[in-house]
């Protein structure tokens, strides 16, 4: 990933709100098929354009729907989510003539959790008087000022591009291009015999993984540099992590120590579990080690071919997968933020989805929330659920994200002694509801307000 030469704007919305018309209008040529029929655009369409001499990439997506038990609708939704992940700014299109739709609200939730900047565009808002009457309705989406546009006539589209480029260029915008040119380090960790080395081979044998064993770039014989989608990476394979009482002999002890140190120097821990066995206490212990080290995490449910016969689509949502996810949530309640990816390392199935997830959680791991936004969120949370202990009400004077990798929030309060971990969990849930932070732990530091702020 690194620094992009051209900003990427993605158009998303439910079916038949005018996304393809907007796409063609912004490109100045007809690329997407435009018909008044939902679902005409299914895959992502890419176009190149310029705005005031600045080239950019535009992505058109299929109409997003939820709750439909239809593989095609699910595939369209997955394609749209990929576009959201690739984009620097989202153009979320809704329809003024239809008014606010429940699907619009679900898409808004999805976009908030993506952590990407969003412009809310209300298409077909050609009647100024009617627009003033319904403008407040679209504020309910919680995505800022709704912008009336006409994709057919081009109304307000120059202003839209100007605002989009402001968001892309803003130095305060922590949601953009957060991965730098340093290699992204992935530690493959887990209990013995869950398929860690098989997963490493499956990733490196993918056509999109370019392995480059350059001398002097690794610290350990099991570090493998490679490139995935132009993002330099290093895969760190490790020995299986056992419970302390099960470690036998000095060789196994030092192998275990190296595995734990590998997590310390990784950005993302791929915690491999045996899908046939389900999530075990040992798996939770490995994940806890990664979280304690401040690493982003992904559950990798390997050997899925032994649970469910392969059907050529490892990303397909099935009842068996839903049951598995429910059991993971039930058996690991403190790890709800860690995504689960289903793979078969032996069949090299699900690797593409795994790597997309890795890039997503890596971005969240180093995403900084601007101080003003964070303070508004924290103060709103305190207002909605005031807190007191031993008769003393909590006052939060100031909040700041002091560092990332992992995100660390410092609260300056009237008395740190009264802040219980359960209230911090409530605040964390509010932060995740707004910014998702999928796969990454959030650390909290509570300090007295009368002291000078220090760097965390």
Domain range annotation of the chain: 8-169, 184-363, 371-448
What is the CATH code for 184-363?
3.40.50.300
Asked if 225 and 210 count as a contact pair (C-beta separation under 8 A), the reply is: no
In this prediction, residue 34 carries a pLDDT of 42
Asked if 342 and 421 count as a contact pair (C-beta separation under 8 A), the reply is: no
Cut 0.75: pTM above it:
no
Give the closest residue to 264 by CA, choosing from 243, 239, 240, 236. Answer: 236
d(CA 19, CA 53): 24
CA 321, chain centre distance (Å) = 20
Domains 8-169 and 371-448 share a fold: no
Cis amide leading into 436 (omega within 30): no
What is the CATH code for 8-169?
3.40.50.300
CA 239, chain centre distance (Å) = 28
The CATH homologous superfamily for domain 371-448 is K homology (KH) domain (3.30.300.20)
Per-residue pLDDT tens digits of the chain, which is 456 residues long: 333 347 889 999 999 899 988 988 888 754 444 444 444 344 567 777 777 777 788 888 888 888 766 666 777 777 788 788 878 899 999 999 888 889 999 999 889 888 889 999 999 988 887 888 788 888 888 888 899 999 998 888 988 999 998 888 754 444 443 444 568 999 998 888 888 888 988 998 865 555 444 333 333 435 788 888 778 898 886 755 555 554 444 444 555 566 677 788 889 999 999 999 999 988 998 899 899 999 999 999 999 999 987 765 566 788 999 999 999 999 998 899 999 999 999 898 999 999 999 999 999 999 989 888 999 999 999 999 999 998 899 999 999 998 889 999 999 999 999 999 999 999 999 999 999 999 999 999 999 985 444 443
């Amino acid at each position: 990933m690194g620094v992009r030469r051209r900003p990427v704007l993605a158009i998303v919305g439910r079916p038949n709100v005018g996304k393809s018309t907007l796409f063609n209008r912004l490109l100045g040529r007809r690329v997407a098929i435009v018909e008044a029929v939902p679902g005409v655009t299914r895959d992502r369409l890419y176009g190149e354009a310029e705005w005031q001499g600045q080239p950019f990439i535009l992505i058109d997506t299929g109409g997003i729907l939820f709750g439909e038990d239809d593989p095609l609708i699910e595939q369209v939704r997955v394609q749209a989510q990929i576009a959201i992940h690739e984009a620097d700014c989202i153009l979320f299109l809704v329809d003024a003539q239809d008014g606010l739709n429940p699907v619009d609200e679900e898409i808004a939730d999805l976009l908030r959790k993506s952590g990407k900047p969003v412009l809310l565009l209300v298409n077909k808002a050609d009647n100024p008087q009617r627009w003033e009457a319904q403008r407040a309705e679209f504020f309910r989406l919680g995505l800022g000022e709704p912008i009336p546009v006409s994709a057919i006539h081009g109304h307000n589209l120059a202003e839209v591009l100007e605002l989009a480029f402001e968001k892309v260029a803003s130095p305060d915008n922590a949601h953009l291009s957060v991965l730098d040119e340093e290699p992204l380090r992935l530690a493959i960790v887990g209990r013995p015999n869950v398929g860690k080395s098989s997963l490493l081979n499956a990733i490196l044998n993918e056509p999109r993984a370019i392995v480059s064993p350059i001398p002097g770039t690794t610290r350990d014989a099991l570090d493998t540099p490679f490139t995935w989608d132009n993002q330099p990476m290093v895969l760190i394979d490790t020995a299986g992590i056992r419970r302390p009482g099960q470690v036998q002999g000095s060789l196994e002890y030092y192998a275990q120590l190296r595995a734990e140190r590998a997590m310390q120097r990784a950005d993302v821990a791929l915690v491999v579990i045996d899908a046939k066995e389900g999530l075990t206490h040992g798996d939770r212990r490995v994940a806890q080690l990664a979280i304690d080290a401040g690493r982003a995490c992904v559950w990798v449910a390997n050997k899925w071919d032994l649970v469910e016969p392969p059907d050529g689509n490892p990303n397909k949502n099935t009842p068996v997968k839903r049951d598995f996810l429910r059991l993971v949530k039930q058996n690991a309640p403190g790890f709800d933020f860690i995504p689960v990816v289903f793979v078969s390392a032996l069949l090299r199935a699900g690797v593409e989805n795994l790597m997309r997830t890795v890039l997503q959680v890596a971005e969240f791991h180093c995403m900084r929330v601007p101080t003003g936004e964070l303070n508004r969120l924290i103060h709103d949370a305190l207002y909605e659920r005031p807190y007191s202990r031993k008769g003393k009400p909590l006052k939060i004077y100031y909040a700041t994200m002091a560092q990332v990798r992992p995100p660390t929030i410092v609260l300056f309060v009237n008395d740190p002694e009264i802040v219980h971990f359960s209230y911090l969990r409530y605040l964390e849930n509010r932060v995740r509801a707004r910014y998702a932070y999928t796969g990454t732990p959030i650390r909290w530091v509570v300090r007295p307000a009368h002291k000078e702020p220090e760097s965390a």
